Structure 1
Amino acid sequence: MKAARSVFQSLIQLRHECRSAHTSSCINAALQKTGKGWNAMKVSDLLDGNERQVLTVRPNETIGMLARMLQRHRIGVMVVSHDGRTAEGIISERDIAYGLAERRGELHLLPVSALMTRRVITCTPDTRLSDVVGLMRQHHIRHVPVVDGGHLAGIVSIRDVMEYRLNEIERRYKSVQHLASLSD
């Protein structure tokens, strides 16, 4: 029992070290509202009641401008969209790094459309979180835009998923700890 407590306490400590205020409040609200387990939790549970602006960049903006936007907002990915409502592509800091290896000095002048991923893997608000993880694994991606009725409704990151899982482990640990204290 001591070894299990040690592992769970380490996980709880990790949760506290890597949480971001917005992501944590979003997941905590979803947990309190739904009380759902991992297999039943939907993307909509994560997004409900939380304004989650999806930052977009136009395909004709330059990579230099994109890099400044990523830095300013402290993010690693942006959805590419002409109108800010539809996903025409997605571009990440990884795309920029790979582009630098190929294009070198001209990179900052290129349009975003030259490096963006055109086949965007998306989910809907009704998609289960466990299915989103499957998409991330299958396609080796860390961000999945949420599309509802053809329009962007949010974005789920691997960090969101990790935060949810750590919250769930902490909640289960506290339940086990409570049961163990009752048997003493």
Structure 2
Amino acid sequence: MDRSGVIELVASRRASAHAPIVVGVSGYCGSGKSTLTRTLVGEIPGAARVRGDDFLDPVRSHQRSVDWDGVDRPRLVSSVLEPHRAGRASTFQRFDWSVRALGPAEPLPRTDVLIVDLIGLFHPDTSPHLDLSIWCDVDLDTAARRGVARDRALGRRHDALWRDVWIPNERDFDERYAPKGAASVRYVA
């Protein structure tokens, strides 16, 4: 599905919902999750974004794991996904990468469409809390090349992390959970 199709799908899901919805956007590192999410928020009036990077553990996200253990799914579910879908006010804490600790509590955006973009999002702990799941359908090699180039452009030399941790983590997660097949729709940029 292309960009306009995804926008129409989210708008349609919003129109037919009787409660606030959560749209999950996932894909490999470097697949375009954040770019798509920013586009959706810009095109869907009133939609809000919660960045998945705010739910990464700075140590565990840089270690090998078969299930993207560095994603703090319990915190995401309890402070964002469950309260939003129930229409309850809540607060959550973003991870402050500059001080390597959780930041101050802030209010969860009040909206009927919350969009969350995150690696490893289509997992048994989080999938039941998503009303629509969008997979950024880019093969792992292409996504990794994009991610490495993005990091280098930002002055980050993460080549060893990409090679030794993030790409193997993606392969293991894919093999274990088949996130592409779990998605409601595949987005092709």
Query: Scaled by the length of structure 1, what TM-score is found?
Result: 0.22
The structure whose Rg is larger is: 1
More helix by share: 1
Query: Scaled by the length of structure 2, what TM-score is found?
Result: 0.21
User: Which structure carries more relative contact order (alpha carbon 8 Å, separation 6+)?
Assistant: 2
